[in-house]
């Protein structure tokens, strides 16, 4: 690559190119080193926090009482009034998607509706819901003004409500939008969670589980969970240029949530 660039450049331009390439490599190495240092520091801080949480929980001794240690991101902490421009972008997205969904024949296979029903009726454990509530929607921040909604989801909704016209389907989704949404997140993200019921949410939203949620879902119901939460969301938590301090810690169980003061 360097040799091929040399053939197209003057001597002065080629020297400038080499200096720029070297500078970019140094900057990249600096960023990688900073990222590795931060990961090590965070791992050490997480271990200390889990040790403190374990003492705070006062768990009985024995292998059966070994808690699950999990790390969470954070959803946006603040809400703001929904701008009219966001609502209009959402309406336009819904209209475009419902037009595609309406062109599909009723009963067209989409995502398995049974999976959604199972998710809705799954009350075997309170831990997944409590974990997500403690996070506050750290995975929702890329939902923007589309909420990952596509034709399969709306076709399934239309099949479940055959008396609704496409315009009424769009209106049903818009009616779920609240006056305030969490800053920098999905249009359906509110302080208390998603404004859409599960059967109206996208397959992406219903299917997604971060590593921590997946571990809780696979854990025994009686499992005690020690959770350390950090400041950034799921998608920016690895950025070395952003503050990702510990901003929460809690002990989760089927009987409740006990928060430990941090900082």
Domain boundaries, the chain: 79-211
Cα distance between residue 103 and residue 99, in whole Å: 6
Cβ atoms 213, 219 nearer than 8 A? no
- For 77-118, the pLDDT digits (tens) are 999 999 999 999 999 999 999 999 999 988 777 655 445 444
The angle subtended at Cα 132 by Cα 127 and Cα 136, nearest 5°, is 150
CA distances from 92 to 77, 98, 198, 239 (A): 28, 10, 22, 33
Cβ atoms 73, 138 nearer than 8 A? yes
Q: Name every residue whose Cβ is closer than 8 Å to that of residue 110 and which is 6 or more positions away in sequence.
A: 151, 152, 153, 155, 156, 203
What pLDDT is stored for residue 110 in this prediction?
65
Q: Which of 57-66, 87-96, 101-110, 123-132 has the lowest mean pLDDT?
A: 57-66
Q: What token pair was written down for 141?
A: 């921040």
Name which residue leads in pLDDT, 111 or 253.
253
Concatenated DSSP letters of 228-253: EEESS-TTTTT-TTS---EEEEEEEE
Classify the phi-psi angles of 107: left when phi > 0, otherwise alpha if psi is within -120 to 50, otherwise beta: left
Q: Indicate whether 257 pLDDT > 70.
A: yes
What pLDDT is stored for residue 123 in this prediction?
53
Mean pLDDT of the chain: 89
What pLDDT is stored for residue 120 in this prediction?
41
What pLDDT is stored for residue 241 in this prediction?
87
């Amino acid at each position: 690559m360097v040799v091929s660039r040399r053939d197209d450049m003057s001597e002065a331009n080629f020297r400038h190119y080499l200096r720029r390439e070297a500078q970019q490599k140094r900057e990249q190495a600096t960023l990688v080193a900073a990222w590795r240092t931060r990961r090590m520091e965070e791992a050490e801080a997480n271990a200390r926090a889990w040790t403190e949480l374990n003492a705070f929980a006062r768990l009985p001794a024995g292998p059966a009482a070994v808690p699950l240690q999990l790390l969470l991101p954070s959803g946006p902490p603040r809400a703001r009034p929904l701008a009219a421009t966001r609502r209009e972008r959402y309406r336009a997205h819904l209209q475009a998607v419902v037009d595609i969904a309406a062109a599909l024949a009723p009963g067209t296979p989409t995502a398995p509706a049974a999976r959604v029903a199972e998710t809705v009726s799954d009350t075997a454990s309170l831990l997944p819901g409590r974990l997500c509530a403690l996070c506050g929607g750290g995975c929702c921040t890329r939902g923007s003004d589309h909420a990952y909604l596509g034709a399969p989801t709306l076709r399934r909704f239309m099949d479940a409500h055959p008396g609704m016209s496409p315009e009424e389907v769009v209106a049903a989704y818009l009616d779920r939008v609240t006056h305030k949404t969490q800053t920098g997140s999905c249009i359906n993200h509110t302080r208390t969670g998603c404004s859409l019921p599960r059967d109206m949410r996208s397959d992406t939203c219903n299917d997604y589980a971060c590593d921590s949620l997946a571990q809780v879902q696979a854990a025994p119901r009686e499992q005690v969970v020690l959770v350390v939460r950090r400041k950034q969301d799921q998608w920016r938590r690895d950025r070395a240029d952003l503050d990702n301090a510990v901003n929460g810690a809690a002990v989760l169980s089927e009987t409740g949530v006990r928060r430990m003061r941090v900082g």
